[in-house]
Amino acid sequence: MEYRRLGNTGMKVSVLGFGSWVTFDNQLDNSLALECMQAAHDAGCNFFDNAEAYAGGRSEQIMGEVLRELGWPRWSYVVTTKLFWGIHGSDPNMRNTLNRKYLMQGIDASLERFGLDFVDVVYCHRADPDTPMEETVWAMSDMVTAGKATYWGTSEWNADEIRHAIDIAERHHLHKPVTEQSQYNLLERDKVEREYARLHAETGYGNTIWSPLASGLLTGKYKDGIPEDSRASLDGYGWLGERMSDEEALASIEQLRPIADRLGCSMAQLALAWCTKHPMVSSVITGASRPSQVVENMAALDVIPALTDEVKEEMEAALG
Ligand SMILES: NC(=O)c1ccc[n+]([C@@H]2O[C@H](COP(=O)([O-])OP(=O)(O)OC[C@H]3O[C@@H](n4cnc5c(N)ncnc54)[C@H](OP(=O)(O)O)[C@@H]3O)[C@@H](O)[C@H]2O)c1
């Protein structure tokens, strides 16, 4: 495994991480979740991503139970969560907010579900234009000071919002956010490659990127229809199914197949290896609906050296 600094921090994270969105509880019970986490860990993965909102809190519970069962030393892995959407109904202070009241209660509830004393990174899952930035930065910094989180970060914030948060933290000598968590893959490049370019160059802000396979689309496996055991077939995920059935996207992705064949890897491995090449990327958070996918995805590590600038350009040109 390759380990990279999380942004400008001294903490090293595996370049391939593992996350639980959609899959934990919906597709993976405790025993399959354990198999997946074990397979990732066997390959050297030390970065395990979660969020309060995943499966209405069940995802954090399952990950916590699995971690206890696996018995890995706490220092050997990084576990994360994200706060914003809330899971406690429609109370105005309990959903879609980064106000101090919610954040303070949200982190305590997450830690309780995990059964952990602290998470390593807590992200603000989205930006909240309704709460003054100073209030959010102060609350996130206090979480770090209280030892409930080691670092804090942002998810899908724009570059101006991140700059604003960093400026406030510097002005008040608070803990700064250290990493983004944004979507990045061969089909979704703009934010990481353009919007954050100067932010990354000037501050070293990191990124633990999500949906590296565009939710599975880049595996090329949906060209003959959506398998019944796919998350795109789950109740409530019809929007994923629609995306996976987009004929134009499916045809375009097929242009990558000859490149994967030539390099002797799967389309999934090719797409994951491509994501690791951007310098802002600290970790590529992979998702998987079954343990065999984890094994395949972690082996993308072996494909990274073959991803020369020429191959990268060839892939990008193939998608037009
Ligand atoms: N911050 C945010 O807002 C945010 C948003 C989304 C995700 N995330 C994080 O990022 C993580 C990864 O995102 P993601 O789950 O969308 O990642 P992804 O890698 O783009 O998609 C994962 C899905 O692709 C399919 N797949 C994966 N590996 C495969 C393989 N080798 N062969 C065939 N199919 C394969 C599986 O779907 P099938 O069920 O079809 O097999 C799997 O569930 C999440 O778990 C979460 O931790 C964060």
Q: Is the CB of 49 under 6 A from ligand 1?
A: yes
Residue numbers of the domain that contains 46: 3-212+278-308
**Nearest C-alpha to atom 35 of ligand 1 is from which residue?**
216
The verdict on pTM exceeding 0.85 is: yes
* CATH code assigned at 203: 3.20.20.100
Catalytic member of 3, 54, 102, 184? 54
257 SS3 class: helix
Considering only CA atoms, which of 72, 82, 68 is closest in space to residue 208? Answer: 82
- Is 54 part of the annotated catalytic residue set? yes
Residue 227 lies in a domain: no
Quick one: how many helices (H) and strands (E) in the chain?
14, 10
Q: CA 39, CA 181: separation in Å to the nearest integer?
A: 23
**Nearest C-alpha to atom 30 of ligand 1 is from which residue?**
293
Residue 61 lies in a domain: yes
Residue 50 lies in a domain: yes
Residue 285's pLDDT band (boundaries 50, 70, 90)? very high
Residues of the chain with pLDDT > 90, as a percent, come to 88
Q: CA 70, CA 281: separation in Å to the nearest integer?
A: 28
Residue 178's pLDDT band (boundaries 50, 70, 90)? very high
| pLDDT number for residue 227 | 87
Considering only CA atoms, which of 115, 112, 56, 64 is closest in space to residue 86? Answer: 56
Residue 13 lies in a domain: yes
Q: Is the CB of 175 under 6 A from ligand 1?
A: no
Residue 116 lies in a domain: yes
Q: Is the CB of 232 under 6 A from ligand 1?
A: yes
With 0-12 / 13-18 / 19 or more C-beta atoms within 10 angstroms meaning exposed / middle / buried, residue 280 is: buried
Contact assessment for residue 286 and residue 36, using Cβ atoms and an 8 Å cutoff? no
The Å distance, Cα 19 to ligand 1 centre, comes to: 8
Query: Closest ligand 1 atom, CA of 214?
Result: 20
Residue 31 lies in a domain: yes
Q: Is the CB of 20 under 6 A from ligand 1?
A: yes
Please give the tally of structural domains in the chain: 1
Note the residue count of the chain: 320
Residue 245's pLDDT band (boundaries 50, 70, 90)? confident
| pLDDT number for residue 244 | 87
Tokens of 133: 């930035």
Contact assessment for residue 187 and residue 214, using Cβ atoms and an 8 Å cutoff? yes
Q: Is the CB of 287 under 6 A from ligand 1?
A: yes
Q: CA 245, CA 145: separation in Å to the nearest integer?
A: 47
Q: CA 124, CA 109: separation in Å to the nearest integer?
A: 15
Residue 240 lies in a domain: no
The Å distance, Cα 143 to ligand 1 centre, comes to: 29
Residue 16 lies in a domain: yes
Cβ within 8 Å of residue 1, ≥6 positions away: 14, 15, 16, 43, 44, 45, 46, 301
The Å distance, Cα 185 to ligand 1 centre, comes to: 11
| pLDDT number for residue 256 | 97
